[in-house]
Chains A and B, each alone.
Chain A
């Protein structure tokens, strides 16, 4: 178990390095001078020169890369070109809302997808099965922004049921909870299809296994057979799938945040890129990548915890 986790951790290192290198190169190719940005619009050439020396911008590239890693390790990602706020400060404020949105989406989409998939598998070939599979194919084919715009137009605007711009506050308040509903339905909605589909395939596989026949032969209740014996074993590939779909979730989050003006990292990233705020864009991309690597790592370890056979592999 520990060995497996360590192995995954080692594999993450080149990826991490790649992310940091891309972040560094990003700042090398863009047409702005970090020293001028840091000095602010009113600085004299002397001050800019001093800052340039201070930041090590007069050093060779590999030294600069080292300095960049050093600053990064100390939480210094530069300052925004647009509003002169430290990038880490803005990022810090957006990570929470993004996590909030993702959790709010997954918390209903995962169980819902698993339930749909299990029903479809158990009543294989029935109308329910066909309907669920149709929903699932439609779900993987619908653009996230379509779902979001439809919800805004119908639920938010026409029926005036729920707010659709921004975050309403912490999730434990009524306003906060109300504001997260539409974004969470949007982001979770595109997630149900793949989960339901994978669960169906996996449950079908498991239902024909020997241990299920044994469980039935023992006279166990059907509910116990399906829930305890079949579903539990069927969940391993589903967890893998959820892990594989984290990138997909991230993409969906960027779009969902933009549509609903949700103050998260994705929206910050898009805004920064569109306004050529390079330090901010770089910070967002590094942040999103780090989050992605971290989640993948957690899923990998979780996967091993669910299925002991993987640990030694």
Chain B
């Protein structure tokens, strides 16, 4: 479900500009000149803080139901976002839901990203491995994430683990392509040749010189992919294939709320808005990062 152009991501490879360019202002200050980026960054930071400190911020227990206040509309006494069908406070549920949704996305991104990065570096560094590795990535890329999710859910049953695995598998070939293309650019730089000439070992060369110089491309990719992974994961949970009730996960919460759409639409709509805001913030931040890292791409 790659909603953004992979071509644009691939082009974010570093090292494309001439070396003698005057020192540009730092990444952060360039980023801060863009109001949309500032807003996105602020929202991302807020979301992360809210997710991390959920247990401290939450006014109640996320699984404690109180049927006397079931389906209370937002704004009711002590319930700024209302309550769900079990009378659980939606502020609390949202905070914990944020936590699980972000963890799900983070875990799959780290897992799929590191395997993909390894494959990408291997393909760029060892030219003989390039053909087989990248063809394997092409085959992986031929399976849309949703199908991987369906297949894993069919094999292992519904749950968060198969969803994380599916999202990771779907991320591997994308990460491999980005890493390979940016590593190929870096490999042509003189300092890599120089490092090679000093007799440095392959692994040291990769981790000390190649990987750090590919970081910016990886960072842009990870930011943009984060949003997509959240969309996919919450969709799988919404279908009932991911997080299972009563677990507070935004997609699963929206799915529960769907049953009460006509009496208490807020139960479904609030988690949906939550997902939308997170994904929007990560997408805007990713776009801004890409522009800041490579101004030539700004159209």
Contacts and interface: CB of A to CB of B under 8 A. Distances in A.
A149 B139 contact: no
A273 B153 contact: yes
A70 interface: no
B250 to A, nearest CB: 9
A137 interface: yes
B154 interface: yes
B5 A241 contact: yes
A30 B279 contact: no
B235 A26 contact: no
B272 A149 contact: yes
Q: Which of A143, A144, A259, A278 has the most CB of B within 10 A?
A: A143
Contact of B276 (A26, A142, A193, A273): A142
Contact of A143 (B144, B155, B275): B275
A80 interface: no
Interface string A191-216: 00110011011001100000000000
B276 A254 contact: no
B4 A273 contact: no
A248 B144 contact: yes
A111 interface: no
A193 B3 CA distance: 8
Interface in B24-68: none
A191 B175 CA distance: 23
Interface string A174-201: 0000000000000000100110011011
A45 interface: no
Given A18-B139, A258-B239, A149 B254 contact: yes
B258 A143 contact: no
Interface of B: 1-8, 135, 138-139, 142-147, 150-151, 153-155, 158, 227, 231-232, 234-235, 238-241, 251, 254-255, 258, 261-262, 265, 268-269, 272-273, 275-276, 279-280, 283-284, 287, 299
25 contacts: A11-B138, A14-B135, A140-B3, A140-B4, A144-B235, A145-B251, A145-B254, A145-B255, A149-B268, A153-B262, A157-B261, A193-B3, A197-B5, A198-B5, A205-B299, A247-B144, A251-B1, A251-B232, A254-B239, A255-B235, A273-B153, A274-B158, A282-B154, A284-B150, A296-B142
Interface residues of A, number: 60
Contacts of A168: none
B272 A146 contact: yes
A282 B154 CA distance: 8
B7 to A, nearest CB: 7
A22 B143 CA distance: 11
Interface string A292-304: 1100100000000
Contacts of B146: 247, 250-251, 254
Nearest to A204: B299
Nearest to A134: B36
A94 to B, nearest CB: 14
B155 A194 contact: no
Contacts of B139: 14-15, 18
Contact of A248 (B2, B135, B251): B2
Given A18-B139, A141-B276, A293-B142, A152 B261 contact: yes
Contacts of A114: none
Contact of B2 (A137, A244, A250): A244
Interface string A147-162: 0011011000100000
Nearest to A30: B155
Contact of A288 (B147, B227, B232, B265): B147
B1 A247 contact: yes
Contacts of A15: 139, 142
Is the contact region of chain A dominated by helix, strand, or loop, or is it mixed? helix
A290 to B, nearest CB: 11
A153 B269 CA distance: 10
A7 to B, nearest CB: 13
Nearest to B275: A143
A141 B1 contact: no
Contacts of B144: 246-248, 250-251, 292
A278 B151 CA distance: 10
Interface string A230-255: 00000001000100111110110011
B276 A146 contact: yes
Contacts of B284: 137
Nearest to A274: B240
Interface in A244-276: 244-248, 250-251, 254-255, 258-259, 269-270, 272-274
A249 to B, nearest CB: 9
B139 to A, nearest CB: 5
Contact of B142 (A26, A29, A292): A292
Given A270-B239, A293-B142, A153 B261 contact: yes
Contact of B147 (A14, A138, A145, A250): A250
Given A26-B154, A137-B284, A152-B261, 7 more contacts: A149-B272, A157-B262, A244-B2, A273-B153, A289-B143, A292-B142, A292-B144
Interface string A18-57: 1100100010011000000000000000000000000000
A278 B272 CA distance: 31
Nearest to A272: B154
A259 B109 CA distance: 28
